[in-house]
Structure 1
Amino acid sequence: MTATAQNPLTDEVLDIRTVISETVDSVRLAVLRAFRELSNPTTSRNLATHANVSRQAVSLHLGVLHEQGLVNRYDGGIELTTGGLLFLDAIEDCLQTVPVEALSYLTRTAHPLTLLQLLAKQPYRLSDLPTAASDLPSQSTIRRALIGLTEYQWLSDDGRTHRITPVGSDALSAYTELAVIVEQLVKKAPWFQRLPPEVVPLPIDALDDAEFVVSNPRNPASVLSTCLKLYDRNISQFRCLCSVYNPVLFHAYRGLLELGIESEAILDWPTALKAASNAGTRYAVQSGKYSHYHPLVLEESQTLGIGIYDDRKVAVAAYNEAGSGKHIAMIVSSNERLVNWGIELYESYRTDAFPANEVDLNRR
């Protein structure tokens, strides 16, 4: 019953309950909340002052949060990543149902949560609980945990049988929603670490079956390889936001235009300039080259890539320099909720873009 997830940033396997517990059962939550009240980026000194804790304690918690991809450190200061913002939002949402003291009790050890999950399925007598789950401790420890759960009004006891109450069901549902979000934040930490903050909210729980790929110094071409594999000549429409200039990728996807597939591309300013300056990629910003192709340009740089294949599949890549190097993290999904989110995200950038033939790409 214990959910774990491997953090790709450190390769450490984390217990989700422990990640939550170490946040709500320490000053870490105060440190996270301090980011909300301070300018971004900020400093450890400001965080310590605002959270009313020592700089040593702040440094310790920031180290853990950085390893989890929830904060980034730059020469100019420290900032909460998109993953950190979503993590804090998820905790605050849970605390609307489960007070911080109660959530701390529920997550401090595995036993209360295991018992609540068991009793959510059916009532149990005390004597039957030790055999109901292999990871439950002795009967005396179970009895103490039952007393605690009852004190929070999560369980009722008629003298023989323990059963979950409506309050307990609400608490378990709130925790479960939080745990699902935290699991995805851990598993896809490099993506959330790089994702621009304006892309939230997104259906995080829908990411569970999404393909995740991240480039790194050992495998720098992994994301490019995935993008090339996504090339699909059987689609009827292709839309993309492109913020990275890669001639290989441009050449491959020109094949869609040669096949007559209805296409639209939004290029950010640096990518549009590079495409226009190269004869092999100039087609990407030429409105009249293909009648079924509509190039758009954003007059600013971006750190995001979006590919929409009909309305069936979406790929979203984050390119910025967060983390240890200039690498890319990407998710690919056919989940309807994620596809719809990707389309809405694409449209949000499209509203700020101009037709390529209305933009002077000779301007530097």
Structure 2
Amino acid sequence: MNSTRHQATNPLTGEELVVRDVINETVDTTRLSVLRALGTLGNPTTRTEITNHAKISRQAVSNHLAVLRDRGFVRNHETEIKPTAGGLLLLDVIETCLQTIPVQELAYLTRSDHPLNILQKLKDESYRLTDLHTVVGDPPSQPTIRRVLSDLMEYGWTEDHGGKQQITTTGQDALNAYRELSLAVQQLIEKAPWLQRLPPEDATFPIHALADAKLIVSNPANPGSVLSTVFNLYDRDTSRFRGLCSIFHPVLFSAYRTAYELLNFSIDSEITFDWPTFVKIANTDNTHYILDSLELSDYDIYALEYAHTLGIGIYDDRRVAIGAYNESGTGNHVAMIISSNNELVDWGIGLYDSYREQSTHADKIDLSR
């Protein structure tokens, strides 16, 4: 399979995208200016502010925003426009690549398969022009190869050595930078439903680690899909569970309570609730048992003194589940990733710890204040 034609399915639209095309559409048009404006202006911002900052037409801004919205990189609410975590990460990975490949050269590199295919072949071996035409998959004509090689030599990415074309150190760096960008963009597309809900300030994970993460998304036709996954995540081999919960869901709470009872509360458990969820638990008869159980030695409850839209589950130090909800935090339209990747587990633990440090133990909270 052609390694330069990574494809990604956008879960939001079902659209099959060629990652190289997505990169080119961004850097070879004014879309990059729109992204940069979103990264610089206040959050939220408006079309007028983006138009003035990017110095492009309002129609062009609207067209680019429509594509970015469909791919989960921006969110619109009436006249307000917000970049999502995915949108900010897209800008970041592009800017990182541009530190190695200037924007004009990245635009050229991604306009067709030919430059990338030729660089990829030259990475492994030097070739004469006639041999290169033979080994390049779906080969262009020799005049096209000759023209591409001329461009690559102009950029300093290849050189002629004894009649053979070979890649330079600069060309190798460019190919590596593109590869990192391509893999990152692929994940940003494929995990868009989660990234469009994840708070941008929490998007501090290594993007490449998302590749083996499982994405689960609720939808109107199957609203319980994510919660059923939460139930299935429970396993009897877990000895320590830490979690952040930002939705009030008595059925979910009861399911976990039943599991704990079956194991005689043998799991070392620590749960942090956001403030609205904690207050509802404390003031609802059929959920107050959650606080009544605080007398158990291996069970602790904490509360953040503000609302949130995030859920975290850490199963020992071997698996993490991170759920992101809609903005109101009611748990509608949930997207979740589940992973045993060590880098994502470490990120999830660090993320949980950051909220745990901001929280207060339930015994020290006075709800009557």
TM-score by length of 2: 0.94
SS at match of 1:314: strand
SS at match of 1:280: helix
Structure 1: which 5+ residue stretches go unaligned? none
Answer whether contact 1:287 1:356 (CA < 8 A) is retained: no
CA deviation profile, 1:199-241 (whole Å, cap 9, x unmatched): 1221110110111111111211111111111011211100000
1:209 is matched with which residue?
212
1:79 equivalenced with 2:82 (yes/no):
yes
1:138 is matched with which residue?
141
Answer whether contact 2:294 2:301 (CA < 8 A) is retained: no
SS at match of 1:284: helix
2:254 is matched with which residue?
251
2:326 is matched with which residue?
320
SS at match of 1:299: coil
Q: CA deviation at 1:127?
A: 1.1
1:293 aligned to 293, 299, 323, which one? Answer: 299
Q: CA deviation at 1:281?
A: 2.3
CA deviation profile, 1:272-300 (whole Å, cap 9, x unmatched): 12222333322323463422101000111
2:95 aligned to 92, 97, 103, which one? Answer: 92
Answer whether contact 1:283 1:289 (CA < 8 A) is retained: no
Mapping of 1:82-161 within 5 angstroms? 82-161=85-164
Of residues 255-264 and 86-95 in structure 1, the stretch that sits farther from structure 2 once superposed is 255-264
- The 2-side partners of 1:140 and 1:88 are apart by 36
- The 2-side partners of 1:95 and 1:247 are apart by 49
Answer whether contact 1:257 1:292 (CA < 8 A) is retained: no
Q: CA deviation at 1:315?
A: 0.3
Q: CA deviation at 1:71?
A: 0.6
Q: CA deviation at 1:75?
A: 2.1
SS at match of 2:65: helix
Of residues 198-207 and 334-343 in structure 1, the stretch that sits farther from structure 2 once superposed is 198-207
- The 1-side partners of 2:16 and 2:277 are apart by 38
Of residues 118-127 and 311-320 in structure 1, the stretch that sits farther from structure 2 once superposed is 118-127
Of residues 285-294 and 198-207 in structure 1, the stretch that sits farther from structure 2 once superposed is 285-294
- The 1-side partners of 2:217 and 2:368 are apart by 34
Answer whether contact 1:215 1:328 (CA < 8 A) is retained: yes
1:228 is matched with which residue?
231
CA deviation profile, 1:31-63 (whole Å, cap 9, x unmatched): 111123321111111111111100001001000
Of residues 197-206 and 306-315 in structure 1, the stretch that sits farther from structure 2 once superposed is 197-206
- The 1-side partners of 2:332 and 2:52 are apart by 33
1:168 equivalenced with 2:171 (yes/no):
yes
2:315 is matched with which residue?
309
- The 1-side partners of 2:37 and 2:139 are apart by 37
1:275 aligned to 263, 276, 281, which one? Answer: 281
1:62 is matched with which residue?
65
Answer whether contact 2:326 2:334 (CA < 8 A) is retained: yes
1:360 is matched with which residue?
366
Of residues 20-29 and 127-136 in structure 1, the stretch that sits farther from structure 2 once superposed is 127-136
- The 1-side partners of 2:191 and 2:206 are apart by 14
Q: Output the amino acid matched with 2:337.
A: I
Answer whether contact 1:65 1:71 (CA < 8 A) is retained: yes
CA deviation profile, 1:56-84 (whole Å, cap 9, x unmatched): 01001000100111011012511111101
2:180 is matched with which residue?
177
* Pairs aligned (count): 361
Answer whether contact 1:285 1:296 (CA < 8 A) is retained: no
Q: CA deviation at 1:329?
A: 0.5
SS at match of 2:159: strand
Answer whether contact 1:272 1:285 (CA < 8 A) is retained: no
Q: CA deviation at 1:159?
A: 4.8
1:48 equivalenced with 2:51 (yes/no):
yes
> Considering only aligned residues, what root-mean-square deviation do their CA atoms show, in Å?
1.5
Structure 2: which 5+ residue stretches go unaligned? none
Q: Output the amino acid matched with 1:187.
A: E
Answer whether contact 1:114 1:136 (CA < 8 A) is retained: no
- Tell me the percent identity: 55
- The 2-side partners of 1:336 and 1:151 are apart by 42
1:18 is matched with which residue?
21
